[in-house]
Amino acid sequence: MKFALATLSLCLSLHSAYGCIEDYVMEAIFAPKPTSAIAVVDMNDFYDAEKQEQFLDTLSHAMTTTGFFAVRNTGVNRDITKAAYKEAALFFKGDSDLKTSCSNLSGGQRGFTPGERAKGKQEKDFKEFFTVGPDLSPEAMAKFGLFENVWPEGQPEFKQSMTAIYNELNQYTRPLLQAIVAVINKNATTKLEEDHLYDMTVGGDTLLRALYYPAIDKLDKRKPLFWAAEHTDINFLTILPHATAKGLQVLIDGKWQDVIVPEDAFVINIGDKLQHLTNGLFVSSRHRVLAEKQGYERFSMVYFVHPANDVWLTPLESCIAQTGGVQKYSASTSLELLWERLLELNLA
């Protein structure tokens, strides 16, 4: 009852500014937006014999040049996505003690974290986030030093919605990775099995991260302020359902480009681990989140697909052949690469 009253009070207090937070967040997510320069593909074309070749060509060009693309018709339930954003907004703008109760010593791998530093940066990003992972066996957690999920006790709907969107994105991971295998196989002499990449992720510590970028009271146009400093993602693949505000930028040919996609599309980007595995065939590009307008805040859901921790990411022979015939990356396990990055971020 206390939480319900607090939620109602929060909506009423915010209503004078931009309406109840549910309406505000939903309108921000699904309002029509212009498109950007990154490639946009339709997942349905992957299953259409007449359109598949063009789909794979577009996907290949995107992954080997910018490492970013957008996908429509993912099959992820829109209502579940909306509910997840609603509950995330309530959590981040709610009671600070509730957020603190979900903090732990997992280095940002579970629960609430007030911020982190990008690789090579001294200052923390201007953001908060909450991380959810898979429910692995006690043996797997002990073996790899993983953590259990933690949840806010006063907001049961938050757990329900985060679990639901996690499961939806997990289901979409398989066909997406199958499409990426098809791109690799297109110019390969030795073909990979359809589920080669997906099988590498089974049992992996794939993470869902809900992020809140607070509004900034004062912006100096001469010195841009970043919600998240430039970085690359350490994981295999990142899936981003439409955020509530723009700000995401990717570095393309030495210039920062806005990533603005159709409202029904998800942004996908290649991570360092997949760049490693493909011997640099696919590109893990630097990106950042720019705070463009004073007084605007941003919520996003980011799904970081990881291979299982004990999987060896030795560059694929078929990718070595497509990148000059010389192996450019060492044989490393997924966990070794992850801990290297966590140490760089001061999260380990």
Q: Which CATH number fits domain 34-344: 3.10.400.10, 3.40.50.2000, 2.40.50.100, 2.60.120.330?
A: 2.60.120.330
CB-based contacts of 104: which residues, under 8 Å, 6+ apart?
Answer: 110, 111, 147, 150
Q: How far apart are CA 63 and CA 315, in angstroms?
A: 16
- Mean pLDDT is highest, among 8-22, 46-60, 124-138, 200-214, for 46-60
How many CB atoms are located within 10 Å of the residue 135 CB?
10
Share of the chain above pLDDT 90, in %: 49
Confidence (pLDDT) at 35: 45
Q: What pTM was estimated for this model as a whole?
A: 0.83
Q: Calculate mean pLDDT across residues 251-261.
A: 90
For residue 257 the two structure tokens come to 């480009």
Q: Which of 19-23, 32-36, 123-127, 188-192 has the highest mean pLDDT?
A: 188-192
C-alpha span between 138 and 114 (Å, rounded): 27
pLDDT in tens, 137-185: 788 777 777 788 989 888 899 999 999 999 999 999 999 999 999 999 9
Chain position carrying tokens 């200052």: 123
Going along the chain, which residue ranges are E strands?
39-42, 68-72, 111-113, 128-132, 207-213, 226-231, 237-240, 248-252, 255-258, 266-270, 287-290, 298-305
Tell me, rounded to whole angstroms, the distance of Cα 2 from its chain centroid: 33
Q: Which residue has the higher pLDDT, 107 or 172?
A: 172
Residue 269 predicted with pLDDT over 90: yes
Q: Closest Cα to residue 91, out of 108, 79, 103?
A: 103
Whether 275 has a pLDDT exceeding 90, the answer reads yes
SS3 for 106?
coil
326 band by pLDDT with thresholds 50, 70 and 90: very high
Q: Are 265 and 157 in contact (CB under 8 A)?
A: no
Q: What DSSP letter does each residue of 141-203 carry, written as one string?
A: HHHHT-------TT-HHHHHHHHHHHHHHHHHHHHHHHHHHHHHHHT-SSPPPTTHHHHHHTT
Q: Is 272 left (phi over 0), alpha (psi -120 to 50) or beta?
A: alpha
Listed in order, strand segments (DSSP E) in 291-339 are 298-305
Per DSSP, what are the bridge partners of residue 266? 71
